[in-house]
Structure 1
């Protein structure tokens, strides 16, 4: 559905802050984008609401009436499995006086009941009953429907987009499934979620994910597992891929390659043999973020046998990333930092992400 016009602060940064930059001449984003609170308001509407957001796994929506609630770009959303097997997504907001249709995930609902005054909707969003409204004049229930949100199911993952201005889903994710074949992400089953609250702007965490430049200095263990000399980054319109052969991993990952996908603006798909780890990076104020790690595995016995070691290794890497990201946020907030040059060989993923952000900022500020 169309989003309301943005109300934005004046652009007080140098004009070049929002201009696209060629890789060989690129500077990092201006520190103000990381430290000034009003930019998060801009990003909620110009970035998150206008992109495809990871919202659920299909395992949570197996049967008719199963539903998942969440907050996307600051807006409450509900996703519902339909009787015909499809999915529908709506704002989780009753058309009466804005009460919630659900306050938690659920299974097998036959209808959606507002938790405030009991108005009832069909699973496809049509108002079916309105409590004690018989005296209301010119009140036509057949004309009242929940506003829909775009929703797509892909490789067992469920995504939503609040705005019709989001790019077509197939343009965003096209090519990933073919590249990782014969891996079938939808065949993997959820194991656990780890959630981290980190004292850095959400973009600091994404920037850090998007380059292997820091591997020898921050991740001594991971640097032994990944082949830094062969570590490569490929860029596509809406996503980037970092990949490396695995080596010397003592049975942590198995044999094969590691694929680290980043899908703009805040989704990571980390794929190693028999495992998918999704990361969702969510702003929590301008100086903090929450990162959700969801782990999925195949039922292969060899994969199951290495889960404990793999998760312990992941915890080690995450602790290292949290430490450096929090220090970087302090540096960005110091007032002393001026945007530095990017390394064209090692930081092309950062450049790609930051140019997409610059384009979004520039559009909002005309």
Structure 2
């Protein structure tokens, strides 16, 4: 975690004043809306508050199901400073645990990903099964009344939605992912069958900005024709064609069709699910608080954003493609094809990095204009309303 804090006018903003500013912004109509209050990106008290109210309570996307396809496959992740691990079981279920030994809390699984039939703590060789149960604790028979069955990994709740794996640190979350996102699935993204898309890339990146700055950037496409000349602007989606979705406590989205009905950004001829304009339509959506997805007929790009300090975040991102697309890639050309896709996405990330870090730097100023939002930036206003609900 980044410990360095760059102090500015907003760093010492009291929690109550930041929440009040967010609430006042959220109460405005969209026509009168302004950007997220600058102090929300810089206040130390608000940063600590959102760690507890958001990242320790909400459902956080950390992977896709096909990234752990086999028994014993695992992935590790950090959520608000808590290391977690997910493991595919022999029953095919995916379980999640706090990645800490039940003895003295040493990080149990140091690797980012892999396959194992058991997990042994490097400190004292306590060994656990895939289900988190303690199987072996050397020399603990020396401790009176030690019961091996009472010591196991701390289990966490997991839910699968449209091929994505969500995990929460909350003991009793106030919602289920599937019910919260049913409107989005039923009305928009369900027709794409995201669960069938197959992962080809998983990467991570660290940028010098507040985590919310990337949410701001991703949830509006007003910048695309200007900033993404090397990538997304080539799909030629006119600004006036973008449609922003309904208000929701759990998500926001916008979508637009591209001009071309064939080639990149369009559905494969063997795709029989998508009809009409949806065969060439992109959907950008955010599952609150931090799961971002660009969904297209021929690929999806997902990002999970995690704060790593007030002015730094780490984002895990991946790319997945429909099976009919993957089926046409010759085995001998697969490596080069994936590399080409990775280069494309890294170029898009580079285009966005300048903007996102600029948002953080610019919003640190003590003197700022009122600000406003473009008609296709409604998702930013919806995210502000989410921050108001979750923070108050």
What TM-score bracket applies, with the shorter chain setting the length? 0.7 to 0.9
Match of residue 5 from structure 1: none
Match of residue 351 from structure 1: 381
Correspondence for 1:170 among 175, 178, 193? 178
SS of the counterpart of 2:15?
Answer: coil
The answer to whether the 8 Å contact 1:297/1:304 transfers is: no
Go from structure 1 to structure 2 and tell me whether the alpha carbon gap of 1:202 and 1:15 turns closer, same or farther (over 3 Å shift).
closer
Once residues 18 and 206 of structure 2 are traced to their aligned partners in structure 1, the CA distance between those partners, rounded to angstroms, is 32
Once residues 52 and 245 of structure 1 are traced to their aligned partners in structure 2, the CA distance between those partners, rounded to angstroms, is 30
* 256-265 or 175-184: bigger deviation: 175-184
Go from structure 1 to structure 2 and tell me whether the alpha carbon gap of 1:342 and 1:122 turns closer, same or farther (over 3 Å shift).
same
Correspondence for 1:128 among 106, 130, 135? 135
For residues 95-115 of structure 1, the C-alpha deviation after alignment (integer angstroms, 9 at most, x for no partner) is: 110012211155553333222
Correspondence for 1:13 among 17, 36, 58? 17
Match of residue 159 from structure 1: 166
For residues 61-81 of structure 1, the C-alpha deviation after alignment (integer angstroms, 9 at most, x for no partner) is: 222222221112210111111
Query: How large is the Cα RMSD of the aligned pairs?
Result: 2.7
Match of residue 274 from structure 1: 298
Go from structure 1 to structure 2 and tell me whether the alpha carbon gap of 1:30 and 1:339 turns closer, same or farther (over 3 Å shift).
farther
Once residues 193 and 80 of structure 1 are traced to their aligned partners in structure 2, the CA distance between those partners, rounded to angstroms, is 17
SS of the counterpart of 2:309?
Answer: coil
Match of residue 35 from structure 2: 28
Once residues 316 and 124 of structure 1 are traced to their aligned partners in structure 2, the CA distance between those partners, rounded to angstroms, is 40
Go from structure 1 to structure 2 and tell me whether the alpha carbon gap of 1:159 and 1:12 turns closer, same or farther (over 3 Å shift).
closer
Number of corresponding residues:
353
Correspondence for 2:350 among 319, 327, 333? 319
Any gaps of 5 or more consecutive residues in structure 2? 1-12, 268-279, 331-336
For residues 19-42 of structure 1, the C-alpha deviation after alignment (integer angstroms, 9 at most, x for no partner) is: 241333433322111123343222
The answer to whether the 8 Å contact 1:113/1:120 transfers is: yes
The answer to whether the 8 Å contact 1:79/1:88 transfers is: yes
Match of residue 239 from structure 2: 228
Match of residue 198 from structure 1: 207
Match of residue 43 from structure 1: 50
Once residues 93 and 218 of structure 1 are traced to their aligned partners in structure 2, the CA distance between those partners, rounded to angstroms, is 42
5 Å-filtered alignment, 1:1-366, equals 11=15, 13=17, 16-19=20-23, 20-24=26-30, 25-105=32-112, 107-163=114-170, 164-178=172-186, 179-220=188-229, 222-223=232-233, 225-235=236-246, 236-247=248-259, 251-254=263-266, 256-300=280-324, 304=329, 313-337=344-368, 340-343=371-374, 345-362=375-392
TM-score w.r.t. structure 2 length?
0.81
SS of the counterpart of 1:259?
Answer: strand
Go from structure 1 to structure 2 and tell me whether the alpha carbon gap of 1:119 and 1:330 turns closer, same or farther (over 3 Å shift).
same
The answer to whether the 8 Å contact 2:180/2:250 transfers is: yes
Give how far 1:284 is off: 2.4
Give how far 1:195 is off: 3.3
Go from structure 1 to structure 2 and tell me whether the alpha carbon gap of 1:105 and 1:207 turns closer, same or farther (over 3 Å shift).
closer
TM-score w.r.t. structure 1 length?
0.86
Once residues 168 and 370 of structure 2 are traced to their aligned partners in structure 1, the CA distance between those partners, rounded to angstroms, is 32
Give how far 1:234 is off: 0.4
Once residues 313 and 250 of structure 1 are traced to their aligned partners in structure 2, the CA distance between those partners, rounded to angstroms, is 19
The answer to whether the 8 Å contact 1:31/1:339 transfers is: no
